[in-house]
Every structure is written in structure tokens, then in C-alpha cells.
Amino acid sequence: MGKLGDRIVARIRSGGAITFADYMEAALYDPEDGYYTTRASIGFDGDYVTSADLGPAFGKSLARGVSDLWSHMGRPAVWDLVEAGAGRGILMRDLLSALERERSDAVRGVRPAIVEVSPRMRGQQSLALEGRDLRWASVAHSLAPIKGVLFANEVLDAFPVHVLIRTPEGVREVFVGEQSGALVEVLRVPSQDLRWRVPESVPLGGRWETSPAAEGWVASLAGALVSGYVVFVDYGGEETDLLTRDGAGTIRGFAGHRLISDPLAEPGRHDLTASVDFTAIRRAAEGAGLRFAGSAMQREVLLALGIREATARPSIPIEQLRAASRRSAIDALLDPNGLGAFRVVCFAKDAPTESLRMFGATSATGSMR
Ligand SMILES: C[S@@+](CC[C@H](N)C(=O)[O-])C[C@H]1O[C@@H](n2cnc3c(N)ncnc32)[C@H](O)[C@@H]1O
């Protein structure tokens, strides 16, 4: 089962079964053997791809959204651009390059920074962003007071979740126990006051996942921001969307672009993720002093930001091929059954929430031309 699996088995033997959330925390972030600490591999040669891996169009469009937000803040002479959970660092790289090319007014006073917990990811980020003056921190609080834009692409889904099940005897929580050296699910009375989080309409036998860790993290970002915006991009849905799944859970693991069949097999060797409950995230954000500024599918947001802008057809064949490959990357970013169905959610603090171009407003205060 691997070194981490053996350590988890030993931990369970001495202290009893652990919650699925504790298991997921260890599998992803154990300081010695967690997936993100030691092995995470993002990109076409790795375990999974994110929008940033499909080329610079995603970063370029986000740069337009970010520069709009900067304009809405009143074009501050000095402002922070903070990415939380930056993976390989290529989204921040593409975003900064696009700002440099197209918005010299905004980029002049920008102070870029990354909030990242994984030393392995930080190493990759510093390679992608070599030569740039950037600050790194493991918690947003270290960068406070943040005035500007904070964004996180596919990070909320990487927080540990508690798994609850409605049974005839009441709500039970999935714990991880061991049987003959293998990790197995066991049901227990919920560890905290989590039972109240399970919506009434979850059917008997149905699963409900909840992430106090993700909610606490959102509150920590809100606490570090004094004015500006927080933008999350991720898969998941509102509570009502998640309830239409007939009680099936959303936890899944990926290795080498394949779904792994058993999330309890070989912890630390593969990614683990769960769909984001954006209703809970909004509640946490608003509870921590942020104002909701809008939400839409990634497809709608990228189209509103002009990702399909017309460009002249190149005359040289190789350039035509490059243009075709860029177009197919954009199709993938907009795919309503794939990345295009991701959700983009924006919150504000001491900044306007109206007329945001990314959510379809036609009169942006600072278009990227
Ligand atoms: C799924 S990856 C997404 C990477 C990148 N944003 C992208 O789009 O390619 C999740 C990233 O979030 C980082 N992460 C996880 N928990 C975090 C936390 N509490 N604070 C900061 N970063 C975190 C991981 O180390 C990893 O870099």
C-alpha cells in the first residue's frame, strides 16, 4: 500500500478509525508522503490538467477580468494580485504576461504574490515565474493587508471533506478503519455537529460531503483582504445542483489522467478531490465580511471576456496550424460538458459589485485594448 498507507494503518491501530476528512488531509498534505507534498504532477504528462494547461488563452482572459476589477477599485497606483494554490505557476505567469502586453497602466503598480502550502508546487512555481519579483506565503494572513485581487483556480476542490450518510438509524459519518492491513470505510456517529449539515432531501443511503476546512480557508482569505475582490473557479454547484445526484458522492481520485477505482488504495500516490458546494462557500464568504458580486459558468465568463475575439487569419501555413491549435484549446475551455461548466464566483470587499464585465455587464469600466 505504500509508506503513507502503512503509517495510516498504524495510526488507526493505535488510535482508532479516522474521519474521511483526516484521511484525505493525510493523503494530500502529509508533510512527508502526501500527494501535493511529494508527488503532485499537473499537466498533460501528469495526473490531470487544469484550464491553465491548455495554453495562454485562459490567463489572457482572466487578465481582462482582473484588469476590469482593478478599474472598479478606482485604479489604485499600487495593488496586490494574489493567486492562492497556484499549482505549476503557469496561470500566474500567463496572467502577468497578458497584463504586461495589454494593460501597462494596471501592471505598473502590481504586487504579485502566491499563497501555496506545498513546497513541491512552490518549487515548480518559482521555475515558471523565474526572474519575477514575487512574494510567497503559506497562509494569506502573512500577506495582509491585501488590497487588490485574490484568485484561486481549482483549489477549493482540493480541501478535505467529511462524508455523511443518511441511514435508517440517523446520520452517520464515513470513517476510515483497517481490516487485515487494508483501509476500509466504517460508519460512525458524526465527529462534530456535522449531522445538521445534511440537507433533508438527501435520500436514505445517500451521501453528503461537507468541507469546514474549505470554508475556514475562504474566511481566512476574507480576513486578509482589506479591499478588492476574491475570485474562485472550480467544479461543483449550488446545494440544489449537488442534491440532484441521488445521493451519490463526488469524491474521486486521478492518476495518469485515469479515474482511480478506490480512493482508499495507495494514499499519497494519487490526487483526491470532491465537487465544491458553492452554497456553503458563499455562506462562509459572506459570514466573513465579503459581498457576493456574481457567479456564472466558466464558458459564459470567458466569452464575456472576449476569448473568441476575431483575429486575422495568418498567411503562413505553420501559423495557421498554431491558430487552429489555439482555437481547439479555446473550444475545450468553453466545453459545456467539461471545463466550460466550471463555475466562476466573485466576492467583493469595500469595492463595487455592479457592472462586472465577466458576468455579462456590457459597459466595463476598463476594457483590455
Ligand atoms: C488542483 S491544484 C490547482 C493548481 C492551479 N491553480 C491550476 O489551476 O493549475 C491545487 C493547488 O492548491 C494548493 N493548495 C491546497 N491547499 C492549499 C491551501 N490551504 N493554501 C494554499 N494552497 C493550497 C495545492 O498545493 C495545489 O498547488
List the residue whose alpha carbon is closest to atom 14 of ligand 1: 85
How many Cα atoms sit within 13 Å of 121 on the Cβ side? 26
CATH entry 3.40.50.12710 includes domain 3-162+212-345: yes
> If you measure from the C-alpha of residue 97 to the centroid of ligand 1, how many angstroms do you get, rounded to a whole number?
21
CA 209 to chain CA mean position, Å: 16
Around ligand 1, the residues with Cβ closer than 6 Å are 36, 42, 50, 52, 84-87, 91, 115-118, 121, 153-155, 158, 217
pLDDT given for residue 368 in this prediction: 40
pLDDT given for residue 279 in this prediction: 97
Pair 260, 270: CB distance under 8 Å: yes
d(CA 329, CA 57): 8
> If you measure from the C-alpha of residue 306 to the centroid of ligand 1, how many angstroms do you get, rounded to a whole number?
27
pLDDT given for residue 317 in this prediction: 83
Spans of the chain, pLDDT less than 70: 192, 362-369
> If you measure from the C-alpha of residue 246 to the centroid of ligand 1, how many angstroms do you get, rounded to a whole number?
29
pLDDT given for residue 284 in this prediction: 98
List the residue whose alpha carbon is closest to atom 22 of ligand 1: 85
pLDDT given for residue 244 in this prediction: 81
Of 48, 106, 115, residue with least CA distance to 72: 106
Query: Can you give the pTM of this predicted structure?
Result: 0.95
> If you measure from the C-alpha of residue 10 to the centroid of ligand 1, how many angstroms do you get, rounded to a whole number?
28
List the residue whose alpha carbon is closest to atom 21 of ligand 1: 116
List the residue whose alpha carbon is closest to atom 5 of ligand 1: 87
pLDDT given for residue 192 in this prediction: 64
Domain ranges of the chain: 3-162+212-345
